[in-house]
Structure 1
Amino acid sequence: RLVIVKVQQKKKPLERAFFYASSPEEYYRRAEELVRRDVISKEGLGKARIEEYVLGQKFNANFQGWVLKDVFDDFDLLGFDDRKQTNLHGILGLPARDQMSLDTPVKNEEVGHYGLTMRESLKPLVYRAAERFRRICEKEYPPGIIGLFALQGAIAYDSEDPEQKRLEFYVFDVSPRIPGCPCVGPTSPEMRRLTLKYLGLLKEYGLEKVETPMDLPMLEIRYAADSNRLEETVT
C-alpha cells in the first residue's frame, strides 16, 4: 500500500518533509536520499509518522464545538479549506514531463489556505465523523473538545466497497484551531447559514452577522458570562 511518511525537516524542525513509498525498499531508498541531501536527519526519521495515503480530494472540515448545548447546539460546520504548500504546489504546477526531469526534494511547508465547497450529498459523511470525534473526546478527555476544531481528511472511494462506487470521508489528522482558518469566513456558505441560525442571539449583542470562525466561541463566552455559566465553558 502507498504510504506517506511525515518527517521533521532538519533545518526547520517546525516544518515537515513528506515522502511517499509503496514498499519497504522504496521507503529506505527515499529516506536515505533525503538524509544524504541534508533535508532530514536519522534522528528525525526515527520519530516519523507513517500513514496510509488516501487517494482522494483533501478537505479540512472546520467546526465549532459548543459546550452550552441547551442554548446553541452540539456542533456546527463552518466550512472547508485546504492548504497551499511550498515547494509541492510549485512542482505540481509544472507539466508531468518537466516534473519527471527535476532533481529537487519535495517539501510540504504550509504557506497558505484556500476555501473549498463540498457536494451537499457528501456532507453527512463529515457530520458523522465529527459526531464520533466529539463523543470519543467527551468519553476519553471530559468534558471533551470545546471551541474550534478541524478534521483533516479526504473524500475517497470506500476501501470496503468491492465495486468502488461508495465514497467515504477518511480523517488522518485533527487540528484544534485558534482562531480558525482565516479563509473560511469570507469563502464559506456555511458561515452565512450560521448567521441566520443564531441571528436572534447576535442581535442581542448588537451584531449583524457571523464574519469569522472566532466570532462563535466569543459569542458563547459572552452569553455564558451574562448567564453566570462561565465556569462551564472553561477547563
Structure 2
Amino acid sequence: MSSIATLGSHCALQVLKGAKDEGFKTILVCEKKREKLYRRFHFIDEFIVVDSFAEVMDQRCSNILKENNAIIVPHGTLIAQMSSAEIESIKTPIFGNKWILRWESDRNMKEKLMVESKLKIPRSLSSPSEINGLVIAKRHGAAGGKGYFLATNEEEYMKKRDKLIEDGIIKGDSDLYLQEYALGVSAYLQYFYSELSGELEFFGVDRRYESDIDGLGRIPAQEQIDIELIPSFNVIGNSPLVLRESLLEEVYAMGERFVEAAKRLVPPGMTGPFCLEGVYDENAKFTTFEFSARIVAGTNLYVSGSPYSSLIYDEPMSMGRRIAREVKNANSKNSLSKIVT
C-alpha cells in the first residue's frame, strides 16, 4: 500500500501525521464543514471532500482510494456515523479486523467478548425493573458518552429516558444498555497488538473529561439538588495518567487475555490498537466496563510518544505512527493480508 486514509474527525491529525512520518501519502475524507480546519495541516496530501462520511462507500470515493492504493484507518467516528453492515461493505482495505467493530458497537456482543477475556466487569441488567442501586444507561455504538445517564430506581430511569426520547437522542429502551455503575478512578488503557510479531505493546493511559458530569463537582450540593438537569457524559477532552508500576503486570495480562479471546470469537482477532476502559477500586483492582477495538481519541495526548511507548521505542512513537509502521513492515514482508480486512 502506498497511502493511508482516514475520516476527518476524532484522531485524524495524529493518524495522518504518523503516516507522513513513516513515508506514506496521506488522504483525508473530509466533510465540507471541516475542510478549512484540516487545510491548515500540510502533512495532509490529498482531500476527498464529501457532504457526509457515508460517501466513503460511494463509487467516487472508492475509486480515488483505489487509485491511491489506500488503506483506511478506522476510528470512533466511523463507528458512530455508519452501521456495522455499512462498515463491512466498504471495498477499500481497512486496517485491522473490521468484523470486530460490530462487537464494539453492540453492547451485548461487547459484554460476551469481555467475559470470554476473563475481565472483571459490572453486572448488566436486562430490564429497568431490575434497578436496585446506582446504574448507568449507555447507548450502543461509539456515542462518546452522549445520552448516557445515571439512575438509582426504575422511576428515575423512566423520567430520564423519556427526556432523551423527547430530545430525539434515543428512540426507546432498545437503544440503551443498563450496567451497574462501577466506582473508582477511571483509566483508559491503550494497547497495540502486532499480528506480524505476535507481541502486545502497552502504549499509554488517559482519563476523560465529560460534560456536564465533571462540571457538577464545582456546584455546591444544595444547588445540584435544586436544578433540573440530566448530566451528560459527552467526552470533551482527555488528560494523561501514569499508573503505579506494580499495576503493569496485570495490565499486560488483561490485554493478552483480550487478544486471545478475540482470536477465538472474532477471527482473525484483535489486530492493531485497542483500549480497555474502566476504573481502579480502593484495592487497585480494575473493573472493565468498555472496550474500543480501534484507536481511541485519548491517544491524541501522545503525539510525541507516551511514558510507556518511550520504554519500547527510542524515537517519538504515537499510536498513529505505530499503525503506519505496522503497514510499512507488512508491506516489506508481503504480509498485508495479515493486518487488513
* TM value normalised by structure 1: 0.76
1:204-215 pair list within 5 angstroms: 209-215=315-321
Give 4+ residue runs of structure 1 displaced > 6 Å after superposition.
none
Alpha-carbon distance change, 185 to 117 in structure 1, aligned in 2, over 3 angstroms: farther
Is 2:206 the partner of 1:89? no
Q: Counterpart in 2 of 1:153?
A: 278
Using the alignment, how far apart are the partners of 2:180 and 2:293 within structure 1?
22
Q: Counterpart in 2 of 1:58?
A: 186
Amino acid at match of 1:102: I
Is 2:139 the partner of 1:22? no
Q: Counterpart in 2 of 1:221?
A: 327
SS in 2 for 1:221: helix
Counterpart of 1:123 (choices 221, 242, 248) is 248
SS in 2 for 1:17: coil
Does the CA-based 8 Å contact 1:116-1:188 persist in structure 2?
Answer: no
Counterpart of 1:3 (choices 135, 138, 142) is 135
TM superposition shift of 1:177: 3.0
TM superposition shift of 1:110: 1.7
SS in 2 for 1:173: strand
Q: Which runs of 5+ in 2 are unaligned?
A: 1-132
Counterpart of 1:195 (choices 309, 313, 320) is 313
1:10-49 pair list within 5 angstroms: 16-32=146-162, 34-35=163-164, 38-39=166-167, 43-49=171-177
Alpha-carbon distance change, 141 to 26 in structure 1, aligned in 2, over 3 angstroms: same
More RCO (CA 8 Å, sep 6+):
2
Counterpart of 2:231 (choices 106, 125, 143) is 106
TM superposition shift of 1:78: 0.5
Using the alignment, how far apart are the partners of 1:195 and 1:92 within structure 2?
39
Using the alignment, how far apart are the partners of 1:46 and 1:143 within structure 2?
30
TM superposition shift of 1:108: 1.6
Percent identity, aligned pairs only, is: 26
Q: Counterpart in 2 of 1:76?
A: 201
TM superposition shift of 1:59: 0.8
Amino acid at match of 1:61: L
TM superposition shift of 1:223: 1.6
Alpha-carbon distance change, 146 to 35 in structure 1, aligned in 2, over 3 angstroms: closer
TM superposition shift of 1:46: 3.2
Q: Counterpart in 2 of 1:140?
A: 265
SS in 2 for 1:148: strand
Is 2:302 the partner of 1:184? yes
TM superposition shift of 1:224: 1.9
1:64-111 CA distance string (max 9 Å, x none): 111012xxx521000101222222222223233433332222112222
Count of aligned positions: 206
1:203-227 CA distance string (max 9 Å, x none): xxxxxx1331111121122122112
Using the alignment, how far apart are the partners of 1:42 and 1:68 within structure 2?
41
SS in 2 for 1:64: strand
Does the CA-based 8 Å contact 1:81-1:184 persist in structure 2?
Answer: no
Amino acid at match of 1:173: E
